[in-house]
Amino acid sequence: MKRKEIPNRAVVSTQWGDEGKGKIVDVFAEEADIIARGTGGANAGHTIRIGEREFIFHLVPAGIIRPKKVNIIGNGVVLDPRVLCEELDILRHAGIEYESRLLLALNAKLVLPQHLLLDRVSDSSAKSGKIGTTGRGIGPAYADHYSRIGLTINDLLNPHLLEEKLERNLREKRLLLRECDPEVIKKIMWHSHLGSGQFYSENDFLDVQAITKAYLAYGRRLAPLICDTDNYLRAAVGHRPILLEGAQGTLLSVDYGTYPFVTSSDCGIEGLVKGVGLRTPDIQEVWGIAKAPYMTRVGEGPFPTEMGGERSAHWCGNGATCKTEREQYSQVSFESENELEFGIAVRFAGKEYGATTGRPRRTGWVDTLLLKLATTVNGPDVILTKLDVLSGCKTIKICTAYQYDGPQVRWGMDTLYKGETLRKAIPNSEVLEHCKPIYELFPGWKQDITGIRRWRELPPELKHIIHAIEEKAGVNARILSVGPDRSQMIFR
């Protein structure tokens, strides 16, 4: 294909994030000239291998390790300059030239110490409705943007404006913080992500001069990378292939997800396209990534097909780590009759621990109602990932309907009654938390599939399962991933 004929592509996750998007982005990046991010912030995380070592990056797009590719952090991103500078240090030490290839949107939103503080104060003090955020200041930074008191990356370049804007931004927050326990605030302000006390002030909690000084220093360092990336990308359309890299997952979208247990950006295709300054017709191929036949979720919120149900949610949400799990549940396997233990065996097999927080990801069976919902946002073409993880599992379950088990509730013109069968997902968490999965059962496949590269060589049981997912969710699974390596792909 000639460069001009290579389509502009976007890769978005269709579940709650962590579907293995990084590898797919890496594969498509080969054909692209420009790789751009448009949503989220340091709440995302992908592992990048440089030589023998692995690093977890939160902000810099994965395309940076490919020579000559231009990488963009777009206007829709909430950018924490501390995290970015750390990642640039890693690149510099590894000898990866980024100065001419990394562009930062001048209108990307700035994450400030007060955002990290508020994120942590509100999630740790929430009595109910705790979201289980990543603590990276994402919600408060987006909230400031929509409240019209946010700062942008360009503000780092204007010393005379920065302090004034910071003062304005902090005004209401100081009032709010007076309601909080000062000891809790102090402890949070000593976190390394908040400069280990560098921004703490005994009287005001947040020391505006210390913040100004540190952020101006970030500005001096980042200045050569800051530009109008919206215009840059618009000018590239039709001339240079573009790859857009989504963050989080559609079910975490503030607009389409399991609200309020979501992140604060629109993780669907429209949010992504807008977050880099483009229009949806500029993108010819949209690929939704879905794990199958299991799926995962990190943090709080409804998950109807969760293996082990509430016990699993409780275990994962209360400080369990990979280490404690390995100590306490060393005997679990796919033979486990106990659902919680089976879910842990899936977590071990799929290495399902958060890249940003290290938390265990909750595991559950694939939910075709939620997948269908995501494809109404992103379109029907999907890439199924992690298909190799459940090899050897005797029975595979696929959720094809729910039984509503909650109190009678109005949903627009409809009324939902207890005991009713639902064939369509209602993402609102007050409804979803009362949905019990109805499964179709399928025999599993025995053999290792990681070496298979052709559709026709896949075990018939797995093909049957993939067909069922396609039919129930209304998707086309045109690409399959059967292992972590770039080569472990099947194109149908």
**Residues tagged active-site:** 18, 46
Shorter beta-carbon distance to ligand IMP: residue 131 or 452: 131
Specify the DSSP class assigned to residue 483. Answer: S
Q: Would you give the binding string for ligand IMP spanning residues 237-256, x where CB under 6 A is met?
A: -----------x---x----
Contact 242, 233 (CB under 8 A): yes
Among 74, 139, 308, 427, binds ligand IMP (CB under 6 A): 139
Shorter beta-carbon distance to ligand IMP: residue 229 or 248: 248
Q: How many CA atoms lie within 13 A of 36 on its CB side?
A: 36
Cα–Cα distance, 408 to 423 (Å, whole number)? 17
Q: Where are the beta strands (DSSP E) in 169-283?
A: 200-201, 205-206, 226-227, 242-245
Tokens (6 digits) for 43: 């709440």
Residue, CB closest to ligand IMP: 299
39 binds ligand IMP (CB under 6 A): no
Q: How many CA atoms lie within 13 A of 227 on its CB side?
A: 13
Smallest distance from ligand IMP to CB 480, Å = 22
Smallest distance from ligand IMP to CB 10, Å = 17
**How many chain residues bind ligand IMP (CB under 6 A)?**
19
Shorter beta-carbon distance to ligand IMP: residue 41 or 309: 41
Among 14, 18, 230, 477, binds ligand IMP (CB under 6 A): 18
293 binds ligand IMP (CB under 6 A): no
| Interactions with ligand IMP, residue window 262-291 (CB under 6 A) | 263-264
58 binds ligand IMP (CB under 6 A): no
Shorter beta-carbon distance to ligand IMP: residue 112 or 466: 112
Query: Amino acid identity of 310?
Result: E
* Distance between start and end Cα atoms, the chain: 19
Specify the DSSP class assigned to residue 421. Answer: E
Among 44, 48, 272, 482, binds ligand IMP (CB under 6 A): 44
75 binds ligand IMP (CB under 6 A): no
14 binds ligand IMP (CB under 6 A): no
Among 10, 12, 15, 17, binds ligand IMP (CB under 6 A): 17
Shorter beta-carbon distance to ligand IMP: residue 162 or 370: 370
Smallest distance from ligand IMP to CB 45, Å = 6
Angle CA(243)–CA(486)–CA(17) in degrees, nearest 5? 60
Q: Would you give the binding string for ligand IMP spanning residues 428-467, x where CB under 6 A is met?
A: ----------------------------------------
Q: Would you give the binding string for ligand IMP spanning residues 78-117, x where CB under 6 A is met?
A: ----------------------------------------
Contact 489, 452 (CB under 8 A): no
Shorter beta-carbon distance to ligand IMP: residue 145 or 221: 145
Q: Would you give the binding string for ligand IMP spanning residues 117-136, x where CB under 6 A is met?
A: --------------xxxx-x
| Closest by Cα among 290, 292, 281 to 237 | 281
Shorter beta-carbon distance to ligand IMP: residue 134 or 229: 134
| Closest by Cα among 14, 12, 139, 21 to 425 | 14
Tokens (6 digits) for 80: 């924490």
Smallest distance from ligand IMP to CB 141, Å = 10
DSSP helix/strand/coil, 297: strand
User: Is beta strand 285-291 parallel, antiparallel or unpaired with respect to 381-385?
Assistant: parallel
Tokens (6 digits) for 132: 């289980």
Q: How many CA atoms lie within 13 A of 404 on its CB side?
A: 22
Shorter beta-carbon distance to ligand IMP: residue 162 or 290: 290
User: b/e map of 281-316 (b: 16 or more CB within 10 Å)?
Assistant: ebbeebbbbbbbbbbbbbbbbbbbbbbbbeebbebb
144 binds ligand IMP (CB under 6 A): no
Phi, psi angle pair for 391, to nearest 5°: -60, 135
* Residue 337 exposed, middle or buried by CB count within 10 Å (0-12, 13-18, 19+): exposed
Smallest distance from ligand IMP to CB 128, Å = 15
Among 84, 208, 298, 370, binds ligand IMP (CB under 6 A): 298
| Closest by Cα among 233, 241, 240, 239 to 274 | 233
Among 288, 299, 309, 350, binds ligand IMP (CB under 6 A): 299
Shorter beta-carbon distance to ligand IMP: residue 200 or 303: 303
DSSP helix/strand/coil, 171: helix
Residues of this chain that bind ligand IMP (CB under 6 A) = 16-18, 43-44, 131-134, 136, 138-139, 248, 252, 263-264, 298-300
